[in-house]
């Protein structure tokens, strides 16, 4: 189904699929498994690598010599885009939005930002609250007027082309689930720009997986998040030739764990980071995966996910951002 779309093999796939026995025991609830998309391999890995396999293939097919995208200051997507461009010999320019107001030098210059520059990308800062898609198109048009052949990637790589990466992940995960011989009750993950959740639900529904999907939002209100995901899922389903396979009721987001705002750590998220690190040796990031894990942990404690069930946590990566948030983790 997906082989007819251009794709460049940038990731280390399939990513591991494994149980988390110590975390499961500590929480006393369901058996928790993790899909390790922090292990995709491109500049410390993360979920955007799957999307970039299709996006960068499209860029190359269109003859681009420059890729441009946008995101927050500590954008995992920007870092992986810069790495993919370096690997392919393309110029990369990034527009980075200040969504937190932090002036901490580690936040503004370490972590993902440091890696952006190491990969040779150029960056421009933007104030919080501007229309970043409009800013991206304006910057791309200016570069085109200067003679560059620009391929512009939306924030998070979240369009129908990018979402193909998570249609593919859904297929990959179903093979791994079948190999375990076990039954799984739910799949959960952090959801932001909508591409990961949209691709996953499209892939799961297309193969009639019967595996419910829950996205824990990191930015937008529930209704906005769900509508964004549903719209993109419908476009993705149409792209792969199975229009109508996703219904509105398939798209569920829980936005109770956003906290004070995007990119601002929460106490529950920091607890999740410590639990995953101390019990399983896994690194989460404060922006995405920690808030998704915080939601999972809280629902287990509330018995929404209970003993006897098996839950999959899709780890979307992002550990490089930890170095921009070092002050949230005082030494013991």
Residues annotated as catalytic are 75
Give the residue among 215, 201, 295 at the shortest CA–CA distance from 253.
215
Q: Is 97 exposed, middle or buried (0-12, 13-18, 19+ CB in 10 A)?
A: buried
CB atoms within 10 A of CB 182: 11
Take residue 199 and report the two structure tokens written for it: 């691709």
3-class secondary-structure state, position 174: helix
CB atoms within 10 A of CB 15: 26
Tell me which H or E stretch contains 296. Answer: helix 289-301
Take residue 297 and report the two structure tokens written for it: 């942990």
3-class secondary-structure state, position 311: strand
């Amino acid at each position: 189904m997906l082989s007819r779309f251009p794709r460049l093999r940038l990731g280390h796939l399939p990513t591991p699929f494994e149980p988390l026995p110590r975390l499961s025991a500590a929480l006393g609830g369901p058996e928790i498994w993790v899909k390790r998309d922090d292990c995709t391999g491109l500049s410390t890995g993360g979920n955007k690598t799957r999307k970039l396999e299709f996006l960068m293939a499209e860029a190359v097919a269109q003859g681009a010599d420059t890729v441009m995208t946008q995101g927050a200051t500590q954008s995992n997507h920007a870092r992986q885009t810069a790495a993919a461009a370096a690997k392919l010999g393309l110029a990369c320019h990034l527009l980075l939005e200040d969504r937190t107001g932090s002036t901490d030098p580690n936040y503004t210059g370490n972590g993902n930002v440091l890696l952006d520059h190491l990969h040779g990308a150029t960056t421009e800062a933007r104030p919080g609250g501007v229309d970043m898609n409009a800013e991206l198109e304006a910057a791309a048009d200016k570069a085109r007027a200067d003679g560059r052949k620009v391929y512009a990637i939306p924030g998070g790589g979240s369009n129908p082309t990018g979402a193909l990466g998570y249609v593919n992940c859904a297929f990959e995960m179903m093979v791994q689930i079948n190999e375990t011989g076990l039954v799984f009750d739910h799949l959960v993950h952090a959801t932001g720009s909508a591409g990961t959740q949209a691709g996953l639900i499209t892939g799961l529904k297309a193969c009639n997986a019967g595996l419910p999907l829950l996205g824990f939002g990191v930015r937008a209100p529930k209704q906005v998040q769900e509508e964004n995901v549903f719209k993109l899922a419908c476009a993705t389903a149409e792209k792969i030739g199975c229009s109508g396979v996703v219904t509105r009721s398939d798209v569920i987001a829980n936005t109770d764990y956003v906290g004070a705002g995007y990119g601002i750590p929460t106490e529950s998220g920091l607890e999740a980071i410590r639990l995953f690190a101390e019990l399983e040796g896994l690194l989460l990031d404060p922006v995405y995966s920690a808030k998704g894990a915080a939601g999972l942990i809280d629902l287990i404690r509330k018995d929404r996910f209970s003993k006897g069930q098996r839950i999959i946590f899709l780890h979307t990566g992002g550990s490089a951002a930890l170095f921009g948030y070092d002050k949230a983790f005082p030494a013991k």
